[in-house]
Amino acid sequence: MVKIKELVMPESLDEAYELFIAKRSSRIIGGGAFLRLGNATILKGVDLSKLALDYINQYEDKIEIGAMTTLYDVETSPILKDNFSGALSKCVKNIVGVQLRNIATIGGSVVGKYGFSDILPVLLALDATLIFYKQGEISLENYLNFENFQRDILEKIVIKKDKKASFQMMRNSDSDFSILNACVCFDDRGYTVVVGSTPGVAKICKKTSEALNNNMENEDNYNFLLEDLHFGSNLRASKEYREDIAKVLVKRCIKELN
Amino acid sequence: MIINTVINNENKTLTISPGEYLVDTLRDNGYKSVKRGCDKSTCGACSVIVDGKIVLSCTFLSARIDGKKVETIEGLQEEAEILGRKIVDKGGDQCGYCNPALIVTAIALKREFGKNATRDEIIHYINGNLCRCSGYISQLEAILEYVGE
């Protein structure tokens, strides 16, 4: 369990940012679901719950999701059910129970860069853009590859509309972590294949995507997944099992999209 | 820290520590129906309603109930008795440890979905409430009956 020595609850982003950067030991608390995942002591927690960052707004060409939007709001939002073939709503449905999904936030899922995340593969496939308070815009793909990103506060996630997507996953039981998950998006870039829970963090499969865009019918396309990704073993599944399942899940995504 | 909150329709001013979790605050203040189960965001035995949303009190910082309304089974007696009776009649109570949180979750479900909640929607909603005695089928039958009334 994470222990918190001091907790501040700022009411503006400006105040939150100043409090956060004032001390290197301070830490952002978004939804707070991570508090039960570790054993650290936080000297100063900067709680974002009073910043009104929980919203899902639709514009003509994009959708903006506030960083403090809970996973249950993502699941039940009519806007997200009607866009991206409902993939964003679908991907959070099996994350523990509704009680936790009412706490965990989309921002926390992104900033945590968790390998087991079900939402990262979908956001990555949809080419989501992150808006940070000070540093502004950065693509999710770049952010995930950035190892020393300057301390900042994630304000919102922006996704361009007019994309189709399919999310598939494999789990041992309904609310367990995914053994493996995959999302394929189809938009003006063509197909973008993403696989997560390898058990590493979700990654765009560039060779597989390119192969599918060149010739969709070729069964050998799926062998590129083994070149695109580094699969591993953990208590949920072996490396070899994940390698086989990855092909199945991506094929299912393609089938659902067509 | 001092927080002002409403627990089961009673105004409360509470002194809490910065990293205190809601399950501790509630139990320390006499709301013993709120059970400490896994303490790892998994079992659902600590479920309570905060501003209309069902949450795990073991993972919810007490500081966040400042200015908000909290409901536990102690404040939901009328509804709880109706569903509790149905759970007993169906043989779904067994050891009883998970029942308060299950009932609170079912009340939140009924408020959200109304009488039209489907069997699949109910199963999905109570998925986070684990029952060590595996009374799931009887519990589900009781909730289906309760929601439909």
Closest residue of B to A95, CA-based? B128
How far does CA A253 lie from the centroid of its chain?
Answer: 17
In the chain, the amino acid numbered B144 is L
* Window B:73-112, CB contacts with A under 8 Å: 105
Question: Which pair of tokens denotes residue B87?
Answer: 């759970």
What does the block give as tokens for A189?
């870039």
Cβ-contact A123, A140 below 8 angstroms: yes
Q: Do A93 and B124 touch (CB under 8 A)?
A: yes
pLDDT, residue A228, reads: 98
* pLDDT tens string A12-52: 999 999 999 999 999 999 999 888 877 889 999 999 999 99
* Distance from C-alpha of A6 to C-alpha of B42, rounded to nearest angstrom: 26
Whether A128 shows a pLDDT value over 80: the answer reads: yes
A9/B59 Cβ within 8 A: no
Option in A9, A33, A42 nearest B59 (CB): A33
Q: How many CB atoms lie within 10 A of CB A135?
A: 13
ipTM of the complex: 0.97
Q: Tell me the per-residue pLDDT of A192-225, one tens digit each, with 9 for 90 and over.
A: 999 999 999 999 999 999 999 998 888 899 999 9
Mean pLDDT within B79-97? 94
**What mean pLDDT value characterizes chain A?**
96
Chain A positions touching B47 (Cβ under 8 A) are: 99
Which of B42, B54, B61 lies nearest to residue A102, judging by beta carbons? B54
Q: Considering chain B, what is the average pLDDT of its residues? A: 96
Nearest to A100 among B63, B105, B128 (CB): B128
The predicted pLDDT at position A196 comes to 98
More confident residue, A77 or A149: A77
Predicted structure pTM score: 0.96
CB contact under 8 A, B44 and A72: no
pLDDT tens, residue by residue, A48-66: 999 999 999 999 999 999 9
Q: Inter-chain contact B56–A100, Cβ cutoff 8 Å?
A: yes
CA distance A201 to chain B (A): 22
Q: Does B129 touch chain A (CB under 8 A)?
A: yes
Instruction: Give pLDDT tens digits for B118-145.
Output: 999 999 999 999 999 988 999 999 999 9
Residues of B in contact with A96 (CB under 8 A): 41-42, 128
